[in-house]
Amino acid sequence: MFRTIISLIIYPLGVTTFVLSSSVYLFLALFIAPQKLYLLAKLISRAFLLSCGQWVTYDGVTPPKEGGPYLYMFNHQSMFDGFLLVGSFRHYVTGVGAQKQFSWFIWGWIVKRYGVIPIKRSKLNQAIHSLEAMEKVMNTGVSCLISPEGTRTLTGEMITFKKGAFHVAQNTKATIVPIGINGAYEAKPKNDWRFKPGRIRMTYGEFISWDTYKDMSLEELRDTVKEKISKLAY
């Protein structure tokens, strides 16, 4: 009951913050490339999280643009994850997002303008095409993010890591940045509309360079990254 009451209070504040800040972003994005608006996106993300009652702590080393492109990999806990990630980056980063998001009011416009690549997980050929598109973006020097799980957890525990993200890593020879998210599932689980105010911790792990994993099999790389993310998140 308490969580329901708190959510009814938080929702108007969160929605208002999101709509107002998104309107500013979309207006500026008509004239300015998203690569130059990453600081605004970072500010908006942090403001939205705070308006939803989430106090976020960031641990570990956040990589600078120099040395990229990076492939950021994280455990997918909540709808807040994208805001957590964008709120921490020191440079522009894009990635793949569920295709259905692109038809949502306001949000669909934002992800399109931001440069997110749509992916339809249920269609293997389309998913492969989306990952190939991400590789092309990374080959231009732009860093990307992806959740190896492919979707949000329903229990709070990490689910099976799919191979797609690791094909991208091996094909681009990118430096992998493992990220662990803790507390986002409790804040807003996928199967519950309510928010729970609290603390979310996001931890950057040690970077994994191409020289470190070039001799690993796809399965070895997957298991190595999963172990690192698990230690960071739990």
Over residues 66-89, the mean pLDDT reads 96
**What does the pLDDT read at residue 95?**
94
Residue 122 above 80 pLDDT?
Answer: no
**What does the pLDDT read at residue 120?**
83
Over residues 151-159, the mean pLDDT reads 94
Confidence label for 71 from pLDDT (cuts 50, 70 and 90): very high
Confidence label for 17 from pLDDT (cuts 50, 70 and 90): very high
Q: pTM for this one? A: 0.94
**What does the pLDDT read at residue 128?**
87
143-146: strand order across its sheet: 54-59, 198-204, 175-182, 70-74, 143-146, 93-98, 117-119
Confidence label for 124 from pLDDT (cuts 50, 70 and 90): confident
Gap between the Cα atoms of 125 and 79, Å rounded: 26
Tokens 């298991």 belong to residue? 223
Helix (H) or strand (E) holding 13: helix 2-29
Over residues 68-81, the mean pLDDT reads 97
Confidence label for 3 from pLDDT (cuts 50, 70 and 90): confident
Over residues 94-122, the mean pLDDT reads 90
* Token couple for 43: 């500010």
Enumerate the H helices of 52-180 as residue ranges: 81-86, 107-114, 124-138, 164-172
Which fold, 2-233? Glycerol-3-phosphate (1)-acyltransferase (3.40.1130)
Confidence label for 1 from pLDDT (cuts 50, 70 and 90): confident
**What does the pLDDT read at residue 63?**
94
